[in-house]
Amino acid sequence: MQVNNLVIDIGNSRTKFAIFKNRKLVVSFPTSEPVKDVIKELKKDYPEVDSVILSSVRDYSNELIKQLKAEFPTVIELTEKTPLPLKNCYETPATLGKDRIAAAVGANSIYPDTPLLIIDAGTAITYDYVNNNNEYEGGFITPGLKMRFRALHEFTDKLPLLKTQAPLSPDGKNTSSSIIGGIQLGLEGEVKRITSHFSEKNTHLKIILTGGDINYFEKLLKNHIFVSPEITLLGLNVILEFSKDKMIN
């Protein structure tokens, strides 16, 4: 039986859509257009899609859910009560970001029974750990690169708004170099310390890297890395399939 799924991932700064056919990613794209308009277009282009999962780190309207249920036979809203193919050991699952657990599920589906650190370098940087018993244990959250530059600019009167620069060889002898060096070398130290922290849990740790600043982070992490820009979308599709199996059984 052919499986045709629509994945909708509403993030902090953009919304991503993906179509999966027989568990394989067919197309994915980010957009700033209204979600309801994109759904109508996708329905025309992919009329065979019959299931959808909606994940959001922001509030969304009941009208969106009504539209989805009117268009598709199966609609799953990702919440803390949604069945997952791995054990969630987070103490407060209701407060856990949907993107974090979805990325963990996606990584675990590729590397089951493997200790994993998923680094999502987006608006915020999240570090999430899955142990070799397929259990999500939690992780850390820190400000993303752009957020760090904006914070120095917006919370001071005179510091300028700067951007990431690479390659980096700051000398700290002027304001721009001081800001760029402080933020980027500081982040490099953060990444090394956090990856070391989780490596101490298991020396066979595999690192999964995703998010908008993926290219910058790839240069900081050179060993045992699997780069996957679509790991969160993959995880959402896995959760959708798992939920549908639960509904059938």
CB neighbourhood size of 133 (10 A): 11
CB neighbourhood size of 29 (10 A): 10
Name the H helices within 72-174. 98-110, 145-154
CB within 8 A of 31, min separation 6: which ones? Answer: 14, 15, 16, 17, 38
* Burial environment of residue 53 by CB neighbours within 10 A (0 to 12, 13 to 18, 19 or more): buried
Q: Is 99 a catalytic residue?
A: yes
Q: Which of 45, 59, 99, 120 is catalytic?
A: 99
Q: How far apart are CA 143 and CA 151, in angstroms?
A: 9
Cα dihedral 39, 70, 22, 240 sign: positive
Active site residues: 99
